[in-house]
Amino acid sequence: MKLNNVKWVIFTIIATGNFLGMLDSTIVNLALYPMARDLGVSISLVQWVIIAYTLVLTVFLPFWGKIGDLVPKNKLYATGFALFAAGSFLNVCAQNLPMLILFRCIEALGASIIISNASSVIASLFKGKDRGKALGLNGCIVAVGGLLGPSLGGMLLQLFNWHAIFVPAIPVAVFGIYYSYKMVPSVIAQKEKLKFDYPGFIYFTISLFALLLAISEGYQWGWGSIKILTLGVICLGFGFLFYYRDHRISYPMINFNLFSIKPFTFGNLAVMTSYMAMFTNTILLPFYLQDILKFKPFITALIILPYSVVLMITAPLSGSAAGKYGSKYLTLAGPIVTFLALSLFILFDEKTPVIFIMLLSGIMGLGNGLFQSPSNTAIISSVDKEQLGIASGILALSRNMGNILGVAITITLFASFRDIFQHVGLPYNVSFLKAYRYTMAFGMFFAFLCVTLSFIAYRDNGGVVKAKK
């Protein structure tokens, strides 16, 4: 069977892996309390079930992206699904917190393999407007997977115990092992002997781990605490060692020449800030709906559902348009729409109509859908075929960094503002709403920054980013 006839089947395999990876990053959100109660640990400790998964997933993205350029994609993908299935099964069997954290790391390692190489496999299969459509749909599925996690987790918790939230991924991942090995192309982007910079990888991993840990725990530990300052020194020190070594060897883990490509560098920065803007709302809106408007979790999930629905409709269309006409104007339109939506979220109070909230959720989905697909297309299309793997890994890293930074900054700002207002004697609801509005203003700033970075990235392309052959 010709590859052209099965490329959308292969895309389905790739997209399924992406969906699972992001779904399991958030499916445990509502399960933390029953986990803590069942395992006999505090909430602060059980949060490491989320933190460990996020750290491992993010740190290994560029590593697996680089490996994806050097080894057959079908074997790499099958390995990723196998690790994910094994980690999910072991999570079901976990009897204490250390075991659960360890098994989540195994699961995250598999997810990192799958997510890091998704864009490169898709870009190698599709050309022109089909590439834009496929990359757009893939980006949409990544976002939807992360957003649906808490809802699915909540439904499973209502019917079973917390172990059940890991069960659905197991059979899907097992099928993924077989079909990815059989159907994902086994081509190697760089036909050379495998040479990998292991010392550089260690330096990079330590530096990025220290950065992500500081971001994740900064609010809990205190941004000026000795722990955070020590992590900052470690991050800078090992980051310098990695940069210095990467410039002195002929087989660097990350080819820094990629960052001389303006659409690649500023495009990735724009992606990161877009996620920071998006998560300002994604994190706080459920709290507002449950804490101020007193909706239950399931109703809350339905109210924010228009975001996912509009995103799923918009992303493939904008991706297809980007593949045909270019990314310049769509990457500007997306964050502008997000900026306008966030400016209206600032108006929320205790009497905001549900229909207005649902409408704005849909507009947020429209903004993200307009931006992510064209941006992904432009970034991936700006590099040569031999660099697709590492470019895909860096793009996934930018998304995750935006995710982590968005969550950390949003929680820190909101909690700080709320505490200030409560300290001066304002009632809880008033303090909450004021803090909510102030934090949304920062989300607007991130959206504006995204517009600026997108303009810089694509202003010289005349509105058209041509796909590499």
pLDDT category at 462 given cuts 50, 70, 90 is: very low
Give pLDDT tens digits for 76-96.
889 999 999 999 999 998 889
pLDDT digits (tens, 9 = 90+) for 287-314: 788 788 888 766 777 788 788 788 878 8
Residues 13-52 as b/e (b if ≥16 CB within 10 A, e otherwise) read bbbbbbbbbbbbbbbbbbbbeebbeebebeeeebbbbbbb
* Continuous H helices in 160-294: 169-183, 198-221, 226-246, 262-287
Q: Which residues contact 183 (CB under 8 A, 6 or more apart)?
A: 6, 9, 10, 13, 74
Between 250 and 346, name the one with better pLDDT. Answer: 346
**Taking residues 209-222, what's their average pLDDT?**
79
What residues have CB less than 8 Å from 360, skipping those under 6 apart? Answer: 341, 344, 345
How long, in residues, is the chain?
Answer: 469
Percent of the chain with pLDDT over 70: 91
Give the integer Cα–Cα distance in Å for 391 and 412. 31
DSSP state of 256: G
- pLDDT confidence of residue 461: 59
pLDDT in tens, 362-402: 999 899 889 988 888 888 888 877 777 778 778 878 887 88
- The highest-confidence range among 171-180, 246-255, 439-448, by mean pLDDT, is 439-448
Cβ burial, residue 462 (10 Å; 0-12/13-18/19+): exposed
466 has pLDDT over 50: no
Those residues whose C-beta lies under 8 Å from the C-beta of residue 326, and which sit 6 or more positions away, are 374, 378, 458, 461, 462, 463, 464, 465
Task: Write the CB contacts of 201 (distance below 8 Å, at least 6 apart in sequence).
Answer: 63, 253
> Residues 53-64: pLDDT tens digits?
888 888 888 788
Within a 13 Å sphere around the CA of 398, how many CA atoms are in the beta-carbon half?
24
- Across the chain, what does the average pLDDT equal? 83
